Chain A
Amino acid sequence: DIRMTQSPASLSASLGEAVNFECLASEDIYSDLAWYQQKPGKSPQLLIYNANSLQNGVPSRFSGDRSGTQFSLKINSLQPEDVATYFCQQYNNYPTFGSGTKLEIK
Chain B
Amino acid sequence: QVQLKESGPGLVHPSQTLSLTCTVSGFSLTNYHVSWVRQPPGKGLEWMGVMWTGGRTAYNSLLKSRLTISRDTSRGQVFLEMNSLQTEDTASYYCVRGFYSHYNLFDYWGQGVMVTVSS
Contact = CB atoms under 8 A, between A and B. Distances in A.
Are A and B associated in one complex? yes
Interface of A: 1, 32, 34, 36, 43-46, 49, 55, 87, 89, 91, 93-100
**Counting chain B CB atoms within 10 Å of each CB, which of A34, A95, A96, A98 scores highest?**
A95
B111 A43 contact: yes
A97 B47 contact: yes
Contact of A98 (B44, B104, B106, B110): B44
Interface in B28-79: 35, 43-47, 58, 60-61
Interface of B: 35, 43-47, 58, 60-61, 94, 99, 102, 104-107, 109-112
Contacts of B107: 46, 55
18 contacts: A32-B102, A34-B105, A36-B106, A46-B106, A49-B105, A87-B44, A87-B45, A89-B106, A91-B102, A93-B104, A94-B47, A94-B60, A94-B61, A94-B104, A95-B35, A97-B45, A99-B44, A100-B44
